[in-house]
Amino acid sequence: MDLVKKYDSDIPLKVEEDIENNIIKIFGANMTSLARAQNGLNDMTELAYTTAEHHPYWNLLYNCSEIANTVLDKWKNSLSSDDFKDIDWALKEIHQTLEKIKDKEPLEHDC
């Protein structure tokens, strides 16, 4: 944090701290809400990719992140018919996964 404070007066930065989770985020002063959302979604998508099939919720996370990526990528444009098909497919995957896991006993996972 001291390093950030050293440059804070010279460079327009926005700093956010999440001490509980040991996270410090540094943003340029002109970063848009859309860019922040896309950046945060990258972390969620990475978790979905690295967890893979080792966690019962991975498919929910993966497909939700795919839908969100599609929407954010087209935020300033129109969704194409292929985008709608991809979103519809992901929603079906989410529904199927929910059906598989909703009646199972809760399990502890450390993935």
Domain boundaries, the chain: 1-31, 32-104
Find out whether 60 and 52 touch, Cβ atoms under 8 Å.
no
Reported pTM: 0.75
**Which tokens belong to 7?**
């440059």
| Residue 8 burial (CB count, 10 A) | 14
Condensed to tens digits (0 to 9), the pLDDT of residues 43-96 reads 888 888 887 677 888 899 999 999 999 999 999 999 999 999 999 999 999 999
Condensed to tens digits (0 to 9), the pLDDT of residues 5-26 reads 655 565 677 888 888 988 888 8
Q: Please, what's the largest Cα pairwise distance for the chain? A: 56
